[in-house]
């Protein structure tokens, strides 16, 4: 069973930093791209960033480019999102997702429960 468990959210002051983690299990972590998607309170879904299986490709949303860094540790089956220079508009639940499934070529089939990041504005 695929499982994604996010951690690291919390309250952080504007301009501060935070690192989110996502512990994965139930699949061969190093074979798959992963993504972060966020959802501001009462709002829709926004793609934040993705990382290829090797870690070589890391596209970002314009809204976070230069402030957030996605990374992965394939030896620990863990995905990270380092967030710096945080702003009020970064307040959201951050979801870790398995971006692609080889068996059926589906995208975003698996999501974690999310972790809340709050940046007072």
Partner 1 sequence: DIVMTQAPLSSPVTLGQPASISCRSSQSLVHSNGNSYLSWLQQRPGQPPRLLIYKISNRFSGVPDRFSGSGAGTDFTLKISRVEPEDVGVYYCMQTTQFPHTFGGGTKVEIK
- The least distance separating partner 1 from the CB of residue 101, rounded to whole angstroms, comes to 9
- The least distance separating partner 1 from the CB of residue 95, rounded to whole angstroms, comes to 6
Q: How far apart are CA 42 and CA 88, in angstroms?
A: 15
Residues at the interface with partner 1 (CB under 8 A): 35, 37, 44-47, 50, 59, 61-62, 95, 99, 104-114
Number of other CB atoms surrounding residue 54 within 10 Å: 11
- The least distance separating partner 1 from the CB of residue 92, rounded to whole angstroms, comes to 13
In terms of CB distance, is 2 or 12 closer to partner 1? 2
Q: How far apart are CA 28 and CA 53, in angstroms?
A: 10
In terms of CB distance, is 19 or 65 closer to partner 1? 65
In terms of CB distance, is 16 or 59 closer to partner 1? 59
Question: DSSP string of 38-92?
Answer: EE-TTS-EEEEEEE-SSS----B-TTTTTTEEEEEETTTTEEEEEE-S--GGG-E
- The least distance separating partner 1 from the CB of residue 62, rounded to whole angstroms, comes to 8
Number of H helices, E strands in the chain: 0, 10
In terms of CB distance, is 105 or 121 closer to partner 1? 105
């Amino acid at each position: 069973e695929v499982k994604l468990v996010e951690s690291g959210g919390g309250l952080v002051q504007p301009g501060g930093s935070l690192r989110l983690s996502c512990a994965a299990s139930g699949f061969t972590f190093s074979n798959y791209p992963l993504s972060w998607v966020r959802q501001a309170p009462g709002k829709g879904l926004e793609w934040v960033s993705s990382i290829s299986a090797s870690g070589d490709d890391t596209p970002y949303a314009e809204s976070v480019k230069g402030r957030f860094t996605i990374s992965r540790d394939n030896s620990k089956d863990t995905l990270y999102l380092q967030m710096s220079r945080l702003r009020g508009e970064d307040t959201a639940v951050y979801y870790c997702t398995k971006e692609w499934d080889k068996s059926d070529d589906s995208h975003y089939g698996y999501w974690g429960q999310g972790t809340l990041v709050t940046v007072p504005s």
